[in-house]
Chains A and B, each alone.
Chain A
Amino acid sequence: MKNAERINSLSDLSLGSACQIVSLELSGLLRRRILDLGIVPGTLIRSIRRGPSGDPTAYLVRGTLIALRSEDASQILVRKLSNGEECV
């Protein structure tokens, strides 16, 4: 993967910026829930807002706002979008 250095976890995504899901390092029920919501490899996702105390964070994905705790988001790997790529 040529952009290996640009792979981070979703929880590190700064507010307002968008990225693309690379892989889900989750397991069990949570993994299925996340897949069910359409958060699959290749999906574009944008972080929108944080809760009053900084956690959880709400992400915009496929037109829906979904809140995740930072522990869970840190197990979702994402790739930053380079300029010119389609945005969410």
Chain B
Amino acid sequence: MCAMSSSRNLSEAYGQAEYVRKAYRNSFSDQIVADIYGNAEQITKHVLSSKGRHRIGFDQIIDNLVTSKWFGYPLMILLLVGVFWITIEGANIPSGLLASVLFAFQDQLTLGFQWLGAPDWVHGVLVLGVYRTLAWVVSVMLPPMAIFFPLFTLLEDSGYLPRIAFNLDHIFKKAKACGKQSLTMCMGFGCNAAGVTSCRIIDSPRERLIAILTNNFVPCNGRFPTLIAITSIFIGGAIASYSGIINALVISGMILLGIAVTLTVSWLLSITILKGEPSSLVLELPSYRRPKIGAVIYRSVIDRTLFVLRRAIIIAAPAGAVIWILANIYIGELSILSTVAHTLNPLGKLIGLDGFILMAFILGLPANEIVMPILIMSYLSTGSLQDFASLEELRNVLVSNGWTWLTAVNVMLFSLLHWPCATTLLTTYKETGSKKWTFLSFLIPTLIGFSACFILTQVVRMLGLA
């Protein structure tokens, strides 16, 4: 009896408390926050003397330019092209240098193995498999990364990135997504897994999912080298005198295409399985700062370049061994590698690729960095060419395996639009906690990649252009 009445009293008291809370909800909590801020303001006035006016004036001048109606967008595109131009031009010479040093060392390794009297297959797995793949990954990936990451970190540090989100927000709003998605896309340039993690900055769960599912349409650092190598060989190389700037324009074009696909897919998701209206945007535009050179170098080299390179190497080394073994174990007339490639060939041809390319993309699932090495090793193991230290030799390898400009464009398209790497898929699973969304993040880009290459190939063939 006593227990009952006290529980009734409690629930009555609770009901009244709820009533009071509802009646005063906003004004009461507002009052608390306002008081806290009032106190903080008083304290600030006492202890801080500010000369912030100048900073605001300086910010104003830069903001007037970078967010202006006429210059805002062109400046962003100019910056994109500029960053890639510097990356491509700057990476060219060290890449070649690294390749010639590393491949010269391969010959020494071979001599060493012969001197030790090691069996052929040991030399094959370790030198032709592991070492050659590593040499390729390091020489092709390291220079562009070592240039791109510091440039990107510089932009990040200066405070420019939030202005990109500010400029692009209304476009994302039209796609019923969040303007901060442009920031997560920027992170995706470095690494899509990092991009997916950075989607936490988006408050609305619906918009966060959209950003996660579409992050893969931004080519990450594992895919740049592929894109750069192929444009350099097939597109920039064709117009020799301006090759650097042409390559930068082509890569920027691919990225703009990726952005267009991102927006379209975001919008399609918003009107189908992730229905909803755009929610809010609260975006802080921090003051511009002079980047601290030491911090920029440390963060970009240690945290980013070496981190990504290490991951690539960890995956590339065993992959190199596996590929060499697959290429050298024969079932009947053909190696396992060639058998798989021949099986995939009809599908590959349908979308303007070939069996080997498709297989390289599939085997590249652990990391996009190893797609090109796998492809070249597969070609080399079937052909007569034995070395690929320069782009010219690489071109010969590819052309002798039937590549045309259409193949090159399709490989670039497919590289931009295909399934995310295993790390990104794993991160997506961690972030969404759902197998369904992880599977969709695999399915959507894959379907788009296949359709885009299929349509382009069929149209070009119908017109008789290639």
Which residues of A are in contact with B by a Cβ distance under 8 Å? Answer: 23-24, 29-31, 33-35, 37-38, 40-43, 48-49, 51-56, 58, 60, 63-69, 71-72
Contacts and interface: CB of A to CB of B under 8 A. Distances in A.
Tell me the interface secondary structure of chain A in the complex: mixed
Contacts of B56: 60, 63
B30 A56 contact: no
B73 A52 contact: yes
26 contacts: A23-B30, A24-B30, A29-B203, A30-B282, A48-B63, A49-B64, A51-B72, A51-B167, A51-B170, A52-B72, A52-B167, A53-B69, A53-B170, A56-B169, A58-B67, A58-B285, A63-B52, A63-B56, A64-B284, A65-B285, A65-B287, A67-B169, A67-B283, A69-B169, A72-B280, A72-B281
Contact of A37 (B34, B60, B63, B282): B282
A66 B179 CA distance: 13
Given A56-B169, A67-B166, A67-B283, A41 B67 contact: no
B279 interface: yes
A35 B33 contact: yes
| Highest count of chain A CB atoms <10 Å: which of B29, B179, B285 | B285
Contact of B26 (A24, A58, A66, A68): A24
B170 A40 contact: no
Contacts of B279: 30
B173 A55 contact: yes
Interface in B274-302: 278-287
A48 to B, nearest CB: 8
B37 interface: yes
A16 to B, nearest CB: 11
Contacts of A69: 169, 173, 278, 280-281
Contacts of B64: 49
Interface of B: 26, 29-30, 33-34, 37-38, 50, 52, 56, 59-60, 63-64, 67-69, 72-73, 166-167, 169-171, 173, 179, 203, 278-287
Contacts of B284: 37, 64-67
A68 B282 contact: yes
B37 A40 contact: yes
B430 to A, nearest CB: 23
| Highest count of chain B CB atoms <10 Å: which of A52, A60, A72 | A52
Contacts, number: 98
A48 B163 CA distance: 14
Contacts of A58: 63, 67, 166, 285
Given A52-B68, A56-B169, 9 more contacts: A49-B67, A51-B167, A53-B170, A58-B67, A58-B285, A60-B56, A65-B284, A69-B278, A69-B281
Tell me the interface secondary structure of chain B in the complex: helix
Nearest to B174: A53
A60 to B, nearest CB: 7
Contacts of B68: 52
| Highest count of chain B CB atoms <10 Å: which of A53, A54, A63, A71 | A53
B30 A52 contact: no
A55 B37 CA distance: 28
B70 to A, nearest CB: 8
Contact of B69 (A34, A52, A60): A52
Contact of A51 (B60, B67, B280): B67
B281 A67 contact: yes
A41 B282 contact: no
B215 to A, nearest CB: 22
Contacts of A67: 166, 169, 281-285
Contact of A40 (B30, B283, B285): B30
A31 to B, nearest CB: 8
Nearest to A52: B72
B26 to A, nearest CB: 7
Contact of A66 (B34, B50, B167, B283): B283
Given A33-B203, A55-B173, A41 B281 contact: no
A51 B73 CA distance: 11
Nearest to A72: B280
Contacts of B167: 51-52
